[in-house]
Structure 1
Amino acid sequence: MRKVVHILACGKSGGIETLIAEYAKKSSHNNYFVFVWEDGYYEQQIRECGCNTYFLDAGKTGSFKATQELIAIIKSVKPDVIVTHHGSPMIRVYVTLLSILFPRIPVLMYVHCDAKDDLSGSNGSARKVINITAAKSAKKIIAISNYVKKSIIANFKAKPEKIEVVYNGVDVSRFAERCLFVHDPVRLVFVGRLVKVKGVQIALEAIKICKENGYNLSFTIVGDGEYREQLEKTTKELAVDKNCSFVGTRRDVPQILANSDIFVHSCIWEEGFGIGIVEAMAAGKLCVCSNSGAIPEIITDGVDGFLAEKGNPKALSEVIMKAIDNREQWECIQSRAIMTAHKFDMEKFVEQLDEVVEEVANER
């Protein structure tokens, strides 16, 4: 058993936080979790499963004091490995700083998204220098997909042999409740953050096209975010508001998926992985998704789901209509989708991440 310090931006709701909270429950190592800016629901979940947590509150105390507290924690815990999560400049700086201050402790740099996204925003040139320096300083870099690995090589100038791919995990047992017959109207569903890059607006345009071609559909949109108001306005502008329902953030996602037919994920950015897609596949849903980022690493078009051209409502509508028209294929595709989802089971994720930690600890 190794002592491992994980550094995260916050403990509130988010994909990284959800993943790491599940890891905390199942990991064989002795894990300590440091939250730099905010605590929250997932910090509490991690603490309640018996792990030590620390909250630096950098937003109030300032980055200098927070860094001093972090250094004191490292000195006190004396970890075998440090793992940094999130791509904020401050946490990337920690990769380099801790590598210098504690040269005998390997520091791992986790990249949870397309690397070029970590360079976006203000001070892009400074972000690039920070990330390239961090990638050079880290003992190993963990990428959540082969697509993300390629983006790290291209954007952070990292050596390929330094990067380990560890696919995100999903607790597939949560989605064992399944309803594999087709409803009338056919029930489409999206689950995720309501931000522009998730491309729900593309799905709404596709539904309009399907409706104009005589297809009877409903679309349930699960989640919340800054783009929700605009999406609700768009449903009215496209005259599909009677077909669509916004249900907000829900805790009963497995049940919602079980009672749906087709999962639609029409993102317009390069998706680093796609946890929501794997969850839908675990529930035996027919998935129609953009062919962007790492999604083709999850879905094989026409085998365990369907891919459509990114950002193209017409192409998406054609795939949806084709899927509906070929219902005799559904059972086979759904069975394959369930099998694919098990490749990304949470147990496999935890085992692989634990192995990476053990490997770098042994190289000290």
Structure 2
Amino acid sequence: MKVLHLLATGSVGGIEVLCRDIYRKSTNMENIFCFVFSGGEIAEDMRDNGADVRVLNYKNKDILKLINYLYNLCKDEHVDVAVVHHGAPINHIALAVLKSRLKSLKTVIYSHGNIQDTLRENIKRGLYFRKFAYSMCFKRCDAVVAISESVKNSLIQRYGEQFGEKINIVYNGIDLDKFKPNCDIGMQNRQGSVNIIYVGRLFKAKGVDILVKSLAEISSEKNFICNIIGDGPEKENIKSLIKEYKLEDKVVLRGVQKNVPEWLNKSDIFVHPATWEEGFGITIAEAMAFGLICIAFNKGALPEIIDSGNNGFLIESVSEKSLSEKILYCIEHINDEELIEIRKRACESSQRFSIDKTVLDLEHIFNRLCSR
């Protein structure tokens, strides 16, 4: 079975990393990865490891050129399934046109976020065109892959119950060879500083400013350190908040780190303070694999990962005070049997989110489409 994956760029990002994992873990798919606008670090890494990578360097104005290129590629290479990953309108229009021109081709939208985020509805410029392109593609495609129940529900609410049957839920997966579950953690008492960690991009909806402000409410006498792993447009604001609240010895911006598993492995508490309706939370699954106590606001798909009080904690109220109270509770009770058991169950729960299972689920969906 030959599968074409259509992406906007090949730079470092969650979608691109997932596609790299799909290439590495596929057993029944022959994959072609087409990066419409530009390549990047992930695209180069995939190519260096033998993947069939096509970097087109097209612009939005090259829509007809893209359609013709993809039509010939699918026809000449006998592509069975074409999957669009990124939300760029040019990709959705191209997929919809391909479906009308190649009747045997099965087309799939891989929905990596709730529809509001996919369409970037907070940005008014070009919104009508984005809505039109996605709607046309959604209604014509053979199937949709949604990364959570939350994403599926957002699509049904937008486009109607009649499309529910074409939406398949496939959770994002982590590489359990890399994020090795250690379910025996926590039996020994923690001595010294409690290590708190955040991993992710630094933009407003991720709520890292709320995390910093919540830590400022915890007494300086409490022995903890918080490492913030990642980069983004909020970096300077976060740096200013750390200085304003005199947290330089408590909160450290570490930037982008390639050895994230090592950072997680030496941490105790993972805080994911996102304030938006997040489509999934792959970093939470990674942290759970190392038996970290995960704390997040009850938003989007996060209740599908964290069973509050069982394998982590969800907070109903989005505020610095409520987050601060939960972090303080975990610091003060880090060696209690209750939290040790939560850490063990977190580790066990993480094994639901294996990249091997993700790829097997995708292969099953694509095979089912091709057998129709």
TM-score interval (norm. to shorter): over 0.9
**Which of residues 310, 324, 339 in structure 1 aligns to 2:331?**
324
Secondary structure of residue in 2 paired with 1:210: coil
Structure 1 match to 2:114: 114
CA contact (8 A) 1:115 1:156 kept: no
- Are residues 1:21 and 2:20 paired? yes
> What is the rounded CA distance, in whole Å, between the counterparts of 1:330 and 1:111 in structure 2?
35
Shift of 1:114: 1.0
Paired residues in the alignment total 361
Q: Do the aligned partners of 2:83 and 2:107 also contact (CA within 8 Å) in 1? A: yes
Q: CA RMSD in A?
A: 1.8
Contact 1:128 1:156 in 2 (8 A): no
After superposition, the C-alpha distances for 1:191-224 in whole angstroms (9 at most, x for unaligned) are 0111111110011111011236x53321100011
- 1:105 alignment counterpart: 105
Deviations along 1:5-46, one digit per CA (max 9) or x if unpaired, are 111111110000111101101112111111111112211232
Cα distance, 1:183–1:249 mapped onto 2, change above 3 Å? farther
Would you say 1:83 and 2:83 are equivalent positions?
yes
SS of the residue 1:173 aligns to: coil
Partner amino acid, structure 2, of 1:255 = E
Q: Residue by residue, what CA displacement relative to the aligned partner does 1:44-103 show, whole Å, maximum 9, x if unpaired? A: 232233331111111398333233322222222121111111112111212311111112
Aligned to 1:354: 363
2:228 paired residue number: 221
Greater Cα offset, 182-191 or 254-263: 182-191
**C-alpha distance in 1, partners of 2:109/2:179?**
31
1:263-292 superposed Cα distances (whole Å, 9 cap, x missing partner) = 000001111001100000001111111111
Alignment of 1:284-323 (within 5 A): 284-309=291-316, 311-323=318-330
Find the aligned partners of 1:93 and 1:350 in 2 and give their Cα distance: 26
1:185 corresponding residue in structure 2: 193
Aligned mate of 1:139, from 136, 142, 146: 142
What is aligned with 1:34?
A: 34
Corresponding residue for residue 152 of structure 2 = 149
Question: In the TM superposition, what are the counterparts of 1:191-340 in structure 2 within 5 Å?
Answer: 191-211=199-219, 214-309=221-316, 311-327=318-334, 328=336, 329-340=338-349
Mark the runs of 5 or more structure 2 residues left unpaired by the alignment: none
SS at match of 1:356: helix
Higher helix fraction: Structure 1 or Structure 2? 1
Within 1, Cα distance between the matches of 2:64 and 2:57? 11
Structure-2 separation of matches of 1:302 and 1:182:
21
- When structure 1 is superposed on structure 2, of 340-349 and 43-52 the one drifting more is 43-52
Residue of structure 2 aligned with 1:170, choices 169, 174, 187: 174
Contact 1:266 1:310 in 2 (8 A): no
Q: TM-score, normalised by structure 2?
A: 0.92
Percent identity of paired positions between Structure 1 and Structure 2: 34
TM-score by length of 1: 0.94
CA contact (8 A) 1:175 1:282 kept: yes
Report the AA paired with residue 131 of structure 1.
Y
- Are residue 341 (structure 1) and residue 344 (structure 2) matched? no
How many Å separate the matches in 2 of 1:207 and 1:183?
20
Structure 1 counterpart SS, 2:7: strand
> CA separation in 2, counterparts of 1:25 and 1:183?
40
In 2, the alpha carbon distance for the partners of 1:215 and 1:223 equals 25
Task: Assess, with a 3 A threshold, how the Cα gap between structure 1 residues 63 and 160 changes in structure 2: closer, same or farther.
Answer: same
Counterparts of 2:84 and 2:191, CA distance in 1: 45
Deviations 1:116-164 (A, max 9, x none): 1123222323322222211101100110000000011122446111100
Q: Report the more deviating stretch, 327-336 or 153-162.
A: 153-162
Native 8 Å contact 1:219 1:244 kept in 2: yes
Letter in 2 for 1:346: I
Contact 1:24/1:49 (CA < 8 Å) preserved in 2?
no
1:3 aligns with 2:2: yes
